[in-house]
Amino acid sequence: MPEEKVFPSFDDEDTSSNSSTIIVNDDLEANQESPNVKEENNDEMKLSAKMALLDFRCRVEDAILSNYLVYNKKKVIFSKEDIENQRDISLWGVPLLSSKGHEGTDVILMKFLKSKDYKVSEAFKALRKALRWRMKHHVDDILGENFSPEVENLWHANGKDKDGRPVCYQVLGNFKDKDLDREMWGSHEERQDLIRWRIQCLEKGIRLLDFKPGGHNSIVLVYDLRNSPGIAMKEIRWITKRMLRIIHDNYPGLIHKNIIINVPVWFSTLHALNLRVIQQRSKNKFIFVRPTRVTDTLLKCI
């Protein structure tokens, strides 16, 4: 019997916060230091980061060659074929075995390192967890899955931002067909399909990256909430919360900005509830834009 492709659930959280913040600033400097002190600190950080990357690279390579990067000897989950294929394991087309000589390997590993403040052990755990999640839910096969034409037309990639990052758009609120609206947001199974579709959109956007050292190896996501089904707030919160957790755990450093445009009044409270599940660093990547500010914000950010 094939394994069900269901994504993990999380307990609901309550908060009394009614934050109406529309734009979250990404520039958080704690205090001012002299140029000399900053330069010394930067040099130390660069050296520390290089050492951490070297350690992480060696640890990942050893795990791949010893067949335990994904496979857990204490609990057999994956097939023998999965174990034998670990030497070819990759993320978004980039091999994780550094001895293969792909220039994108260090780029991928560095994203996991940065997400864990260069703590190698934590980054290694995060990488293993992400790989297991991808295998369990067959994420590598998701690009070949077909969804309804109405849903697939709600996503497209169009151009790049001022720094050369791909820009991807999801029109989450434009449901003119009431039956489609009810079909998409109704049952638990249909909401799971919607999550899977959103992950497919994310994977499509990431495939636009070349993962070259020194490049802009992240994407910009623009969500249009015009005509969002406010009556389905509970369902929207359910989906949004799970997507936040999935992205936070499995796509570190791959989204430069989340720009949510045409934000309705009720969404301000909703986003305050959902953002509690992620770290401050990730919260700073969200920009919420009311209808009157959409054009100015997009011109500034893109």
Encode the chain (302 residues) as per-residue pLDDT tens digits. 444 454 443 333 333 333 333 443 333 333 444 555 455 567 776 899 999 999 999 999 999 988 889 876 655 555 667 666 778 899 999 999 999 999 999 999 999 999 999 999 999 999 999 999 999 999 999 999 988 777 778 889 999 999 999 999 988 765 555 555 555 555 677 778 888 999 999 999 999 999 999 998 999 999 888 876 654 556 666 777 888 899 999 999 999 999 989 887 767 666 665 556 555 566 568 888 888 999 999 999 88
Quote the pLDDT of residue 24: 39
Do 284 and 26 meet the contact criterion of CB atoms below 8 Å apart?
Answer: yes
Q: Residue 270 in contact with residue 230, Cβ under 8 Å? A: no
Superfamily of domain 148-301 in the CATH hierarchy: CRAL-TRIO lipid binding domain (3.40.525.10)
Residue 215 DSSP one-character state: S
- Which regions of the chain carry the CATH code 3.40.525.10? 148-301
Q: Which residues contact 241 (CB under 8 A, 6 or more apart)?
A: 10, 273, 274, 277
CB–CB of 39/92 below 8 Å? no
Q: What is the pTM assigned to this prediction?
A: 0.78
d(CA 212, CA 120): 22
pLDDT for res 280: 57
Cβ-count burial 115-125 (b if 16+ within 10 Å, e if not)? bbebebeebbe
DSSP 137-173: TTGGGGGG----HHHHTTEEEEEE-TTS-EEEEEE-S
Asked if 238 contacts 194 with a C-beta cutoff of 8 angstroms, the reply is no
